[in-house]
């Protein structure tokens, strides 16, 4: 059934959605809009007005729908579910990004390093790494960041704020992503699976490290001998052979070791003689 416009003014507004006519102009930048409500919303980008305030953290937003998205951070609501694995997300953009895991599609490629991204916005943020642009600066320590999200995450180091609490054990986290990762310890969920052997992991970084077993990739190379390692910690452990560094010291006799496992084995000698 076609929509019915109750009067001529409503009909005129509706017709603009088809014609694209933009009668409402911004006095600051002269950008045009179909509806006056769109102009009013746009003008907040010039005035800095943020009338929609979060009742939990007092953060302000220019649009009500942005406030609704933000409030899901506090409520934990995830209304957008993946049709493949059932995982829920707070925003449709996060769902679309997740679905790339199942399809393997990464259409946006960095022209500098060749890294691929599922979303154009992720590529733009990544490219700032190559440009050296860090537009978002911490007002406390002056450290710069390539995105506002990274800045907000960093600022919690100064405030000590841990807004996200585990309902199972009460442990607090500064970011919702860290809480989700932690909760897998309680649920046993391992959503990231190796396509070679089927082994599952709680985090993507653990899966990527594991997959080097199959690919033979060893991206961390010793500058002394050129020996390659699959993990950065293995390289650091190896480099102690060259540097002579022994960071793990026995509290009873002062003897140093290159690895914590060697220290634990050594300490049994003291315990056996007590």
Question: Stretch 191-212: mean pLDDT, rounded?
Answer: 85
Q: Would you state the structure tokens that stand for residue 193, as one six-digit string?
A: 């699976």
Tell me what the mean pLDDT of segment 154-169 comes to. Answer: 81
Residue 172, pLDDT above cutoff 80: yes
pLDDT > 70? residue 18:
no
Q: Which of 51-55, 146-150, 260-264 has the lowest mean pLDDT?
A: 146-150
Please state, in angstroms and rounded to a whole number, the distance separating the CA atoms of residues 91 and 81: 10
Average of pLDDT values for 177-202?
86
Calculate the average pLDDT of the chain.
Answer: 79
What pLDDT does residue 2 have? Answer: 44
pLDDT of residue 13: 60
From 93, 88, 62, select the one nearest 76 (Cα to Cα): 88
Predicted confidence band of residue 4 (pLDDT cuts 50, 70, 90): very low
Residue 19: predicted pLDDT:
62
Average pLDDT over residues 125-147: 76
Other CB atoms within 10 Å distance of the CB of residue 133? 11
**Count of Cβ atoms closer than 10 Å to residue 61 Cβ:** 18
**Predicted confidence (pLDDT) at residue 274 exceeds the cutoff of 70:** no
Query: What's the rounded mean pLDDT across residues 89-100?
Result: 78
138: left (phi over 0), alpha (psi -120 to 50) or beta: beta
Question: How many whole angstroms separate alpha carbon 66 and alpha carbon 189?
Answer: 30
Model confidence band, residue 1 (pLDDT cutoffs 50, 70, 90): very low
Residue 7 has pLDDT above 60, yes or no: no
Model confidence band, residue 90 (pLDDT cutoffs 50, 70, 90): confident
**Whether pLDDT at 96 is above 70:** yes
For the chain, domain boundaries: 220-272
> What does the pLDDT read at residue 15?
61
* Residue 28: pLDDT over 70: yes
Alpha-carbon distance 256 to 265, whole Å?
Answer: 12
pLDDT on residue 11: 61
% of the chain with per-residue pLDDT over 70: 86
* Assigned CATH topology for domain 220-272: Double Stranded RNA Binding Domain (3.30.160)
44 has pLDDT over 80: no
What letter would DSSP give residue 21? -
Taking residues 132-150, what's their average pLDDT? 77
């Amino acid at each position: 059934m076609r929509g019915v416009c109750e009067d001529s003014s409503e009909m005129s507004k509706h017709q603009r959605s088809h014609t694209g006519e933009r009668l409402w102009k911004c006095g600051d930048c002269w950008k045009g809009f179909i509806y006056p409500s769109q102009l009013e919303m746009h003008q907040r980008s010039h005035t800095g007005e943020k009338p929609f305030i979060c009742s939990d953290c007092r953060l302000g937003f220019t649009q009500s729908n942005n406030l609704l998205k933000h409030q899901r951070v506090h409520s934990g609501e995830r209304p957008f579910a993946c049709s493949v694995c059932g995982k829920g997300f707070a925003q449709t953009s996060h769902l679309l990004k997740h679905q790339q895991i199942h399809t393997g599609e990464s259409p946006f490629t960095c022209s500098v390093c060749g890294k691929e991204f599922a979303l154009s916005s992720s590529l733009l943020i990544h490219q700032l790494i190559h440009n050296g642009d860090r537009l978002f600066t911490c007002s406390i320590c002056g450290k710069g960041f390539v995105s506002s999200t990274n800045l907000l995450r960093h600022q919690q180091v100064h405030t000590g704020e841990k807004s996200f609490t585990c309902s199972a054990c009460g442990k607090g986290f500064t970011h919702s992503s860290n809480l989700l990762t932690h909760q897998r310890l309680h649920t046993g969920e391992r959503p990231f699976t190796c396509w070679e052997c089927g082994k599952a992991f709680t985090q993507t970084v653990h899966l990527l490290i594991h997959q080097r077993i199959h690919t033979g990739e060893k991206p961390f190379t010793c500058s002394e001998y050129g020996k390659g390692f699959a993990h950065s910690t293995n390289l650091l452990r190896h480099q102690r052979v060259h540097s002579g560094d022994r960071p793990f010291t026995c509290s009873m006799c002062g003897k140093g070791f290159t690895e914590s496992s060697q220290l634990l084995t050594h300490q049994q000698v003291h315990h056996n003689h007590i």
